[in-house]
Amino acid sequence: MKRSRFARRGALNRDAEQLARLAAGLAASSSRVEDAFWEHRLDEAIDRLLRTGNEETLNHALDHLFGTNGRAYDALADQIESRAEGGVLGAGNGEFDVAMFAAPLLAWSRFTIPSGPLPGGALAAARTQLQAHVLAAGAKLALADFLYSPDQLPRGFVETWRLANQLAKAAVDDKDARIDPRQLPETTRFISDTRYLIGAVLAPRGQALFRWQEEDGSREQSATQWSVQGGSALQPLFTGCALEPLLPEVFHAACRNADQGLRIYSLRAAVAFLQTVLNVKPQQLRAVVAPFHEERLEEYRVGFTLADSSQVVHGVVWPLLGAEDETTDSAGQIESVLEETGIGSVVVLEQRFPLEFCDDCGMPMYPTPEGETSHAELPEDLPQAPAHLH
Ligand SMILES: [Zn+2]
């Protein structure tokens, strides 16, 4: 199972019941012919709910299946995501495949990572690079004129579907789409974070949308070229930031890859950041890794200290993603990423910590080498330290 949800109690309404039944049929099907039957009916039901903004029924059906039929849950989640992020426009000979995609950009900075409305120059540069390295020849493109932070991404399937529709309509004319920044929440500032370019790509039905679907293309090639050329074209927008562009993909897949990528990136960024602000070598740093629980294991937190001090100077959260739980070797993964940075030592604590946050600023509390928790705070006498890290 990809995502975790808490099952809600209560009877299913008729629409949710129908979704659950169709998804169970699809999950149990053993042929492509039968798959197509169930998928077609499921698509019609999902499309109707998306069109009428019925987020609740979609979630209700998912919640129900999560507790009772894991394979049907996965089938339904996949189908809802794919209907929300793309589909077919037009009719007859004028049919087009269209997909909303995201281009995740991992960044870290001592200063501010930009977000918000995109200047025309940056938008044009992104368009040129995407067309050269990521999209199929002749595919039409619409980009949102907004650089999204994670808390500004569409929340829920209906919002995702609405944004996908707005972009798809703009893609018909190969034009970018205006996003009203007043509709989006403020961004929380972090040392390392993800930003997203979001767009829609459109091509005649059955034709390639992405460069790697073409005979002489490949994902590896697109990833490298986008990372290098796209990265340098976007660098002016990210003044004072380190930037790592990930391969753009259809929306939900891109978001999942970005979440995975950011966990690793944030650990590396933390070591690089501390090297810069404390003027130390990685060998002079220590990381303390520990599991944090609420009702169940929620996340790992990593407290960074100088090798000869217990004061936590910086912290990184490693959230569990998808179906990960206490049986996943998260501590081992964290340890190996940190060891690659050349850090002096990594201490893994076995004890369970409660999911605590700072009473004053709401930031997470991090583990200390002594097995306690502490607020992360840079020493105050730093030469050019940022005033407050939060
Ligand atoms: Zn605080």
- Residue 10's pLDDT is 58
Tokens of 152: 């500004």
364 alpha carbon to ligand 1 midpoint, in Å?
8
Burial tier of 41 (Cβ tally within 10 Å: 0-12, 13-18, 19+)? middle
361 alpha carbon to ligand 1 midpoint, in Å?
4
- Residue 384's pLDDT is 54
Q: How far apart are alpha carbons 71 and 80 in whole angstroms?
A: 14
43 alpha carbon to ligand 1 midpoint, in Å?
47
279 alpha carbon to ligand 1 midpoint, in Å?
24
The CATH number of domain 279-374 is 3.30.420: yes
294 alpha carbon to ligand 1 midpoint, in Å?
20
Q: What is the pTM of this model?
A: 0.92
96 alpha carbon to ligand 1 midpoint, in Å?
51
108 alpha carbon to ligand 1 midpoint, in Å?
20
268 alpha carbon to ligand 1 midpoint, in Å?
23
- Angle at CA of residue 50, ends 48 and 54, nearest 5°: 95
Residue % of the chain over a pLDDT of 70: 95
376 alpha carbon to ligand 1 midpoint, in Å?
8
In the chain, residues under CATH classification 3.30.420 are 279-374
What is the pLDDT confidence band of residue 383, given thresholds at 50, 70 and 90?
A: low
Q: How far apart are alpha carbons 203 and 131 in whole angstroms?
A: 13
367 alpha carbon to ligand 1 midpoint, in Å?
15
363 alpha carbon to ligand 1 midpoint, in Å?
6
373 alpha carbon to ligand 1 midpoint, in Å?
13
> Does 150 have pLDDT greater than 70?
yes
362 alpha carbon to ligand 1 midpoint, in Å?
6
Q: How far apart are alpha carbons 386 and 39 in whole angstroms?
A: 53
CB atoms within 10 A of CB 264: 16
357 alpha carbon to ligand 1 midpoint, in Å?
8
- The residue that leads in pLDDT, 187 or 129, is 129
380 alpha carbon to ligand 1 midpoint, in Å?
14
> Does 53 have pLDDT greater than 50?
yes
- Residue 11's pLDDT is 67
104 alpha carbon to ligand 1 midpoint, in Å?
29
What is the pLDDT confidence band of residue 385, given thresholds at 50, 70 and 90?
A: very low
Comparing C-alpha atoms, which of 134, 328, 299 is closest to residue 213? 134
DSSP strands (E only) in the chain:
86-89, 96-109, 116-117, 140-143, 146-147, 192-204, 241-245, 249-250, 285-293, 297-306, 314-319, 345-348, 353-354, 366-367, 373-374
Tokens of 378: 């840079």
